Each structure stands twice: as C-alpha cells, then as structure tokens.
C-alpha cells in the first residue's frame, strides 16, 4: 500500500467518524446551552439564550456548523469545551496521560496474559485446566465493563479494603503532592479490571491456533524424534501462534478503549474516558469529536502496525 493511499484512507476514516459522531450529537435531546447553564437556566431569558447560541454558532445550519468545525480543525483549533470551560486541547492535554497509563498498560498486560493462558489451555487441551480457562474466558467475554468495575469496588475496596475506592490519588491531596506509590496504589484496581476484560478473545484465539500447530505434521515428526511438549511449544508453537495473537491483541485496543470509558466513570479516573461520558451528557460536541478522532486514530494505527509486524513475524505473508 502506497503512502498516499494509506493517508487517504486514514483521512476518509477520520472524516466518516467525525460526521457520524457529529450527527448523533445533533440528534441527541441534550441541549448544550441548557447543560452549560445548569441550574441558572431558569434565570436566563430566551433572548440571552439566543445570544449564547449565536456566540457558539448553534444558530447556523447543521451542515455549516460541521464544516466550520472541520475548517478550524485543519488550522489546529480543536474548539472550546463547554463542559470544562477551556480549550479542548487543554482538556486532552490534562487527561491523556492518565488514560494512556490505564489503557496502555491494560492493553499490554491483557495481551501477555491472554497469550499465556491460550498456550496453557492448548498444551493441556481436554484437561481440567483447559476447561477452566475456557469457561472463565466465555464469562469474561459477556461481562460488561461497568458491572465488573462496580463488583470490584464492592468486594476489593469496600468489603476487603485492599484498594482505594476511586480517583488517581488520595482525595484532598494536590496532584503535585501525590507520590508514585500512591498513584500505583490507585491504578492497580482499575488496571486489573480492564486487563481481565481484554484477556478472553486473545486467549481463545491463541488456544485455537496453538492446537492447530500441535496437531500439524511437523510437530508429529518432532514428537517422533523425541521432542518434549515444552520443546515443541517453545520452538514451534509460540512463533506460529504469535501471529494471530498479535492481530487480535492489536484489534483488542478498541475493546480496551471502549471498556475504559465506563471503567473510568465508575472509578472516577480523571482520563479521557470519563471526559467522554461528561461530554456526551452535556452536549459538548467539540470535546466529544476530538476524543472520537483521537481514539479512532490510535485504534486504526494499531491495526496498521499489526499488519506491518505480521510481515516481520511471518515472511510468508510478504508480497512478492
């Protein structure tokens, strides 16, 4: 794929996502001006409300609003967030670190743990360990992120007292005074929830591929030559199973991001996921569009990276 074609496809994807998100927000019953005013809406006259709408450009046709926003985006202006009452770029800059720490580590750990569980399940296929891993993965695949997050808080934080209930640091302590140990303590529970949610698909796909490898002719020959199961897995199984596992892991980045939106809301984690919920509830179109485009860009880039790594891991997939 040429660079020009790749860039064109990415731009078309971003444009489509922006258009869909924009239209969904316009169809939403949420009035951004009423959400911005809050309790003060009862003291604002219709004329004053109309002035606010005119200042924000909400009195223009919907198509014009979209293309005005797109023109500002091309110039590097992400717009103004009515939810946080600051430029969207500042909101993202303040929150992207917390989101990357949570979702990035969850994505990495879920990939490693899922691959390990898939290899173990395949090596012990038909045994009790294999059945336990499959049942757990099936349950996790159908478990909502917010429900698992609430359950984790109720059991681990409230009942057992092993982890803080919320936030990225102790309540009432200024951000610059929070120590690294305190940050890790508050990160552990939401990170564990997101990691567990991303394991299922990776483990099940790895198991299937590993079983195919262990039943192949060259593995049968290796067994006939006296190779042990561990030797076969290390020499033949891991590399052959790594390719589909890598593809699924890269694709799971979208699932991790989706789960983080509700998980951050439950844990009051100050990241982009929580900002997404607040922007949707308050009709903050510029902020929601910026987060949607950023998430789309990250997920699509991960899939492109998986395609490139696929050719490195398996030279047979390279085009002649």
Give pLDDT tens digits for 66-91: 888 888 888 888 888 888 888 999 99
**Per-residue pLDDT reduced to its tens digit, 262-314:** 888 888 888 888 888 888 888 888 899 999 898 888 888 887 777 777 666 66
**Burial of 91 per CB tally in 10 Å (0-12, 13-18, 19+):** buried
> CATH 1.10.3720.10: which residues of the chain?
88-317
More confident residue, 110 or 246: 110
Query: What value does the mean pLDDT of the chain take?
Result: 83
Q: Does the pLDDT at position 148 exceed 60?
A: yes
Place of tokens 């483990």: 203
Give yes or no for a contact between 67 and 279, defined as CB atoms under 8 angstroms apart: no
pLDDT of residue 315: 59
More confident residue, 244 or 126: 126
**For the chain, give me the number of helices (H) and strands (E)?**
15, 2
* pLDDT bracket for residue 135 (50, 70, 90): very high
Q: Does the pLDDT at position 175 exceed 60?
A: yes
How large a percentage of the chain has pLDDT more than 70?
A: 96
Render 176-201 in DSSP notation, one character per residue.
GG--HHHHHHHHHHHHHHHHHHTHHH
**Per-residue pLDDT reduced to its tens digit, 216-274:** 777 777 777 777 777 777 777 777 777 777 777 777 777 777 778 888 888 888 888 88
More confident residue, 162 or 172: 162
- Cα(162)–Cα(208) distance, rounded to whole angstroms? 36
CA 165 to mean position of chain CA atoms: 22
pLDDT of residue 79: 86
Q: Does the pLDDT at position 65 exceed 80?
A: yes
pLDDT of residue 320: 45
| 114 beta partners | none
DSSP secondary structure code for residue 154 in this structure = I
Question: Which CATH number is correct for 88-317, 3.30.70.1150, 1.10.3720.10, 3.40.640.10, 3.30.70.3280?
Answer: 1.10.3720.10
Give yes or no for a contact between 102 and 269, defined as CB atoms under 8 angstroms apart: yes
């Amino acid at each position: 794929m040429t660079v020009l074609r790749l860039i064109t496809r990415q731009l078309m994807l971003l444009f489509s996502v922006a258009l869909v998100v924009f239209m969904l927000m316009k169809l939403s019953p949420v009035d951004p001006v009423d959400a911005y005013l809050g309790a003060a809406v009862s003291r604002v006259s219709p004329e004053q409300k109309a002035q606010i709408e005119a200042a924000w450009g909400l009195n223009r046709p919907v198509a014009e609003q979209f293309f005005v926003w797109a023109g500002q985006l091309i110039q590097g202006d992400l717009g103004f967030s009515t939810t946080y009452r600051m430029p969207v770029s500042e909101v993202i800059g303040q929150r992207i670190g917390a989101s990357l720490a949570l979702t990035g580590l969850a994505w990495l750990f879920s990939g490693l743990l899922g691959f390990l569980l898939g290899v173990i399940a395949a090596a012990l296929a038909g045994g009790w360990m294999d059945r336990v891993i499959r049942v757990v993965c099936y349950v996790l695949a159908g478990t909502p992120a917010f429900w698992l997050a609430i359950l984790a808080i109720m059991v681990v934080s409230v009942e057992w007292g092993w982890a803080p209930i919320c936030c990225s640091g102790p309540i009432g302590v200024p951000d610059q005074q929070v120590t690294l140990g305190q940050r890790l303590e508050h990160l552990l529970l939401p990170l564990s929830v997101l990691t567990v949610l991303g394991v299922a698909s990776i483990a099940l796909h790895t198991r299937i591929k590993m079983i195919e490898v262990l039943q192949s002719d060259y593995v049968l020959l290796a067994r006939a030559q006296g190779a042990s199961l561990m030797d076969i897995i290390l020499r033949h199984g891991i590399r052959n199973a790594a390719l589909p596992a890598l593809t699924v892991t890269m694709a799971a980045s979208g699932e991790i991001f989706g789960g983080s939106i509700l998980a951050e809301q439950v844990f009051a984690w100050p990241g982009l996921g929580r900002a997404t919920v607040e922007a949707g509830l308050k009709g903050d179109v510029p902020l929601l569009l910026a987060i949607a485009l950023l998430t789309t860009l990250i997920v699509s880039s991960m899939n492109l990276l998986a395609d490139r790594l696929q050719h490195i891991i398996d030279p047979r997939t390279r085009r002649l």
